Each structure stands twice: as C-alpha cells, then as structure tokens.
Amino acid sequence: AQSVTQPDIHITVSEGASLELRCNYSYGATPYLFWYVQSPGQGLQLLLKYFSGDTLVQGIKGFEAEFKRSQSSFNLRKPSVHWSDAAEYFCAVGPQGGSEKLVFGKGTKLTVNP
C-alpha cells in the first residue's frame, strides 16, 4: 500500500533562512508526487508536481523539490523564506497511469520568525 511520511510535524525558521521540508514515500514503482500548501482556514494550493523527467522540479512562490528514487524522497526546498510562507505543507503521492487516489502525508506546519 502507498504511504507518505512527513517526519516533521512543526518547523520554525527565521525569515530569510533556507528551508527544507522532508517527504518520504512508500510505493512499488515511480509515483506521481505533489506538494501542496494550505494557509489557515483555506483550501490546498498546488505548489509543484513531479511526473517524470528532470528530478529537480520548480514550483510557484520560489519553491523547488527534488525526487530521489534511491531514497524514496521528495523534499521541498526554498533558499530564502518569507513571512508569507508560514502555512501547512502537504506531500502527496499517486500512482502513475491515471489512478484517481492520492495519498497525503499528515502535513508539516511552518512558522516563520521575523
């Protein structure tokens, strides 16, 4: 069965510092991978996605993520965090080939200190 683990429930960084949010997945083949962001009381917004090809993918708001097959990881990074990046971040995995079900991690809450 597919599963997604986000090991960090809560991360605090200072504004301007770099950020890395971890995501590990369990799946038998190469999956589709996603990162979503959720501001308090809002829906989820798609940050970026990996389907195939280049393992370093760029997303919106200056975020990027790297797919590492050998480590079953898809970590999210940003070189310099802004106060507006404070939110909850969800990693999700879905099987290639168009299956409808995504499996979500439990999320990592990001706090940004001024």
Partner 1 sequence: DGGITQSPKYLFRKEGQNVTLSCEQNLNHDAMYWYRQDPGQGLRLIYYSQIVNDFQKGDIAEGYSVSREKKESFPLTVTSAQKNPTAFYLCASSPSGPHLNEQYFGPGTRLTVT
Tokens of 46: 């798609």
Select from 3, 18, 96, 113 the one that contacts partner 1 (CB under 8 A): 96
Of 57, 7, 9, the closest CA to residue 32 belongs to: 57
Does position 69 bind partner 1 by CB under 8 A?
no
The binder of partner 1 chosen from 48, 63, 107, 112 (CB under 8 A): 107
With CB under 8 A as the rule, give the number of residues binding partner 1: 26
Contact by Cβ (8 Å): 110, 86: yes
Looking at the Cβ atoms of 81 and 105, the one nearer to partner 1 is 105
| Minimum gap (Å) between residue 80 Cβ and partner 1 | 27
Strands 108-113 and 10-14: parallel
Which among 47, 49, 55, 51 is positioned nearest to 108, based on CA atoms?
47
State the Cα–Cα distance between residues 18 and 10, nearest whole angstrom.
15
Binding part of the chain for partner 1, among 18-26, 60-68, 69-77, 95-103 by CB under 8 A, reads 95-103
The region of 14-22, 38-46, 61-69, 78-86 touching partner 1 under the rule CB under 8 A is 38-46
Three-state DSSP state, 30:
coil
Candidates 34-42, 53-61, 66-74, 76-84; binding stretch for partner 1 (CB under 8 A): 34-42
